[in-house]
Amino acid sequence: MDWASYRACQEAGAMIATGNEHVYARTVTLTDLGNGGAGHGATGAPDRVAVGPGRTFVVVSGLGGRSKRDYECAAHDDDTWWATVYTRNYYL
């Protein structure tokens, strides 16, 4: 998927579900998908998401297979948009 597809979901207020990543993760509410420098518009508390026009969240559900992927800490040090992450070597 490209950022335009994700933004179209955000504009419509649709939830975004992805898979095939060998992890589980969910974001907080996002209001500016594709703008990584602004944290994709991450807002709100990790235990509540708001969905509606201009607001969405992303869930990655990829633990149906045989293995979990490692979390690459150096690649994600400044990620502020994840509410929860579950990988082979990391849990948030």
Residue 28 lies in a domain: yes
- The answer to whether residue 34 sits within a structural domain is yes
**What is the tens place of the pLDDT at every residue in 55-89?**
999 999 988 777 888 888 788 878 889 999 888 89
Helix intervals (H) in 1-92 = 3-12, 73-76
In a domain, 64, yes or no: yes
In a domain? residue 7: yes
Phi and psi at residue 20, to the nearest 5°? 60, 35
Q: Which tokens belong to 57?
A: 């969240």
Does a structural domain hold residue 81? yes
> Looking at residue 69, what DSSP letter applies?
P
Task: Quote the domain boundaries for residue 79.
Answer: 3-86
Q: What are the tokens at 55?
A: 């607001």
| Residue type present at position 68 | K
Nearest to 55 by CA among 74, 21, 28, 36: 28
- Whether residue 92 lies inside any domain: the answer is no
What digits encode the pLDDT tens for the residues 12-50?
999 999 988 889 999 999 999 999 999 999 999 999 999
Asked if residue 26 lies in contact with residue 84, where contact means CB atoms within 8 angstroms, the answer is yes
